[in-house]
Chain A
Amino acid sequence: NAGVTQTPKFQVLKTGQSMTLQCAQDMNHNSMYWYRQDPGMGLRLIYYSASEGTTDKGEVPNGYNVSRLNKREFSLRLESAAPSQTSVYFCASSESPFWGVGPQHFGDGTRLSIL
């Protein structure tokens, strides 16, 4: 099993450009998450989806939109990229539809640089 797959692995954008980060899981999990990881700050939640068709804002949602296309896929979109969004982005999934109840499974991240 692949687990959680994120694409692309690396991306360089110019300020103002848009892009979508893709995430898919093959574990039939209910919940999916998008985090960003910055040096010295741990992971911060951007958005969370408990099930298909539902999304909730996390700690740092500004500048991002998400779409839970189906149970497998959860995409993150930057409409107008800013240098402050330079980060490593992680997608995760968990079996429970309730946040925090069980372990999360992570992809290997997308390293995004915005010039």
Chain B
Amino acid sequence: SQQGEEDPQALSIQEGENATMNCSYKTSINNLQWYRQNSGRGLVHLILIRSNEREKHSGRLRVTLDTSKKSSSLLITASRAADTASYFCATAANTGGFKTIFGAGTRLFVKA
């Protein structure tokens, strides 16, 4: 199974609301990354959080990491219709050369 698994699989919210997506993983990690993918496009890197960090911010994005629970969350505040996309977490394992595995993603739909 995938190292990183996002939850929920799909999320629909109104513009202006906050969106929270979660990622769980199984093995010890070096870092965890979040990516966005717009329909028909490639993935775009959002944030990288290292295993010794607990929280990072970038604009309207807030990522937390709880290594004891092997989980991470991505919060998008004051969502916009342009945030409609799929969001993926990617975990870099702490063994064997930081093997990176992508989860199946959360599809976010923001209604205007």
Contacts and interface: CB of A to CB of B under 8 A. Distances in A.
Nearest to B31: A100
Nearest to A58: B99
Nearest to B38: A108
B42 A42 contact: no
A99 B43 contact: no
Contacts of A19: none
Contacts, number: 57
B48 interface: yes
A99 B45 contact: no
Nearest to A105: B45
Given A90-B42, A106-B44, A100 B104 contact: no
Interface string A45-73: 10000000000000000000000000000
Contact of A99 (B44, B97, B102, B105): B97
A-side interface size class? 20 to 34
A109 B37 CA distance: 11
A103 B98 contact: no
Given A98-B97, A98-B98, A100-B93, A40 B41 contact: no
Contact of A106 (B43, B98, B103): B43
Interface string B33-47: 100000011111100
Interface in B81-105: 88, 92-93, 97-100, 102-105
Interface string A28-52: 0000000100001111110000000
The 5 lowest CB-CB distance pairs between A and B, nearest first, are A100-B98, A100-B92, A106-B42, A103-B45, A100-B100
Interface of A: 4, 35, 40-45, 90, 92, 98-109
10 contacts: A41-B2, A42-B105, A99-B92, A100-B93, A100-B98, A101-B31, A104-B100, A106-B42, A108-B40, A109-B40
